[in-house]
Amino acid sequence: MKLWYSTTSPFVRKVRVVIAHHQLNGQVELMATVAVKPDSPHNQDNPLGRIPALQTDQGEWLFNSTLIAEYLDSLGNNTPLFPQGENHWQVLNFHAIADGIMENTLMYLGERMLRDQSEWWHSRHQQMIERNIRTLRYLEQHLDQLGNELNIATLYIVCVIDFFHFRQNVIGIDPADIAPRLDRWAQEMNRHYTCLADTKPYQA
């Protein structure tokens, strides 16, 4: 299998955590790319121009991080990260909440990284920031339901929080200030699970 990836993307990290959890590293070739560049090589394989993108052993390309994560989870022999028990919908709902935070963030992150501040849509940015603040606090209020078990929701929430720290100067939110108990929970998850600790974002 082949994976177009970067060391900064929380979407890619979600997939890399699944790979590490199931010890599939030897089966997946990592191919570095830069998502925002129109001439980046991953564009030849993914018409959406997004990462991650995974080519299966059968030659088919998968384009969505959650789809890729679930596909890899189905190949692994470790504890499944997509639970099929009574908490199935709760886990998927928490994952959707984390995904919503990232959707909110992407609405202004690229603009802040690539455009002069005079060109920013400030009112829209503030709206997204306020939504994210409310949502981080919502997750903090539901820490008992999140628990400390590694699943697709908990690992992705950790990815989101670590990404907010990594890009804090651009995103404009410090999770440690907004939701300190949630932030401490995320750091404890990083300490407890090697697959999280080994995939933290960094600038290559």
For the stretch 82-105, pLDDT in tens is: 988 889 999 999 999 999 999 999
Average pLDDT score over residue span 118-141: 96
Residues 49-85: tens digit of each pLDDT:
899 999 999 999 999 999 999 999 999 999 999 988 8
160 has pLDDT over 80: yes
Average pLDDT score over residue span 186-193: 98
pLDDT confidence bin for 13, thresholds 50/70/90 = very high
pLDDT at 44: 84
pLDDT confidence bin for 17, thresholds 50/70/90 = very high
% of the chain residues with pLDDT over 70: 100
pTM score, whole prediction: 0.95
pLDDT confidence bin for 40, thresholds 50/70/90 = confident
Q: 32 forms bridges with which residues in the sheet?
A: 5
Q: How many helices (H) and strands (E) does the chain have?
A: 10, 4
pLDDT at 39: 73
Q: Return the exposure string of 99-119: e unless at least 16 CB atoms fall within 10 Å of the residue's CB, then b.
A: bebbebbeebbebbeeeeeee
Q: How high is the mean pLDDT of the chain?
A: 95
Asked if 93 and 152 count as a contact pair (C-beta separation under 8 A), the reply is no
For strand 53-55 and strand 61-62, is the pairing parallel, antiparallel, or unpaired? antiparallel
Least confident piece of the model among 78-87, 135-144, 155-164: 78-87
